[in-house]
Amino acid sequence: MNKRFSIGLLLVTGLLTTVAPVNAQQPKLIRIGILVAGPSSAVSTRLEAFRRGLRERGYVEGKNIALEYRYGEGKLERMSELAAQLVRLKVNVIVTAGSQATRPAKEATHTIPIVMANDNDPVGSGFIANLAKPGGNVTGLANLTTELSGKQVELLKEIRPKLSQIAVLRDLTEPATHRRYERLISPCKRTN
């Protein structure tokens, strides 16, 4: 299990301990909502590692936890309804895979904790106030791609001082794309 995944799992299990049953004789079933914008096949390996990590910490599906999966299958227009379904199910925590799942989850609830499994720019996307003190009901992992983009170009220019052009492939459906692109081109001299 990689370090980033382990930290995310600790965040979720930490939240689970706050809703753990007080009376051990009547265990409460903890519901974890998992919201993914893409198909299940895109995250199957990570979800299996997540389930394995939960089992290692004593959380067993059907015994003391229930995992509620919602997949957008790449249809972003479905994400708001999928997030609303999880809220109606009264899940104890929502785990999101990427900003395209985090945004609809954040819009659907201000009270259910949301754990971002991975986000490129949670501050720029408006999910959290800042990395040190997220505030609100959203927490989780950020890969800091946006913050590092400009530094990557600077390093390229150090390696290749005569570098005059770079190509950038962008996913315009990703909310952090614009900020990342701006950070990429800021170290470069723009010529028209």
**The pTM is what?**
0.70
Q: What are phi and psi of 56, to 5 degrees?
A: -65, -20
Distance CA 145, CA 108 (A): 26
In this predicted model, what pLDDT tens digit does every residue of 11-70 receive, in sequence order?
Answer: 565 555 555 544 455 568 999 999 999 998 888 898 999 999 999 999 999 999 999 999
Q: Candidates 3.40.50.2300, 3.10.20.30, 3.20.20.20, 3.40.1190.20; correct CATH number of 3-143?
A: 3.40.50.2300
Rounded to whole angstroms, the Cα distance separating 187 from 173 reads 24
pLDDT-derived band at 158 (thresholds 50, 70, 90) equals confident
- Name the amino acid, one letter, at 117: A
Q: Residues near 79 by Cβ (< 8 Å), separated by ≥ 6? A: 35, 37, 72, 100, 101, 103, 104
Q: Residue 7 corresponds to which tokens in the numbers above?
A: 């930290």
The predicted pLDDT at position 147 comes to 63
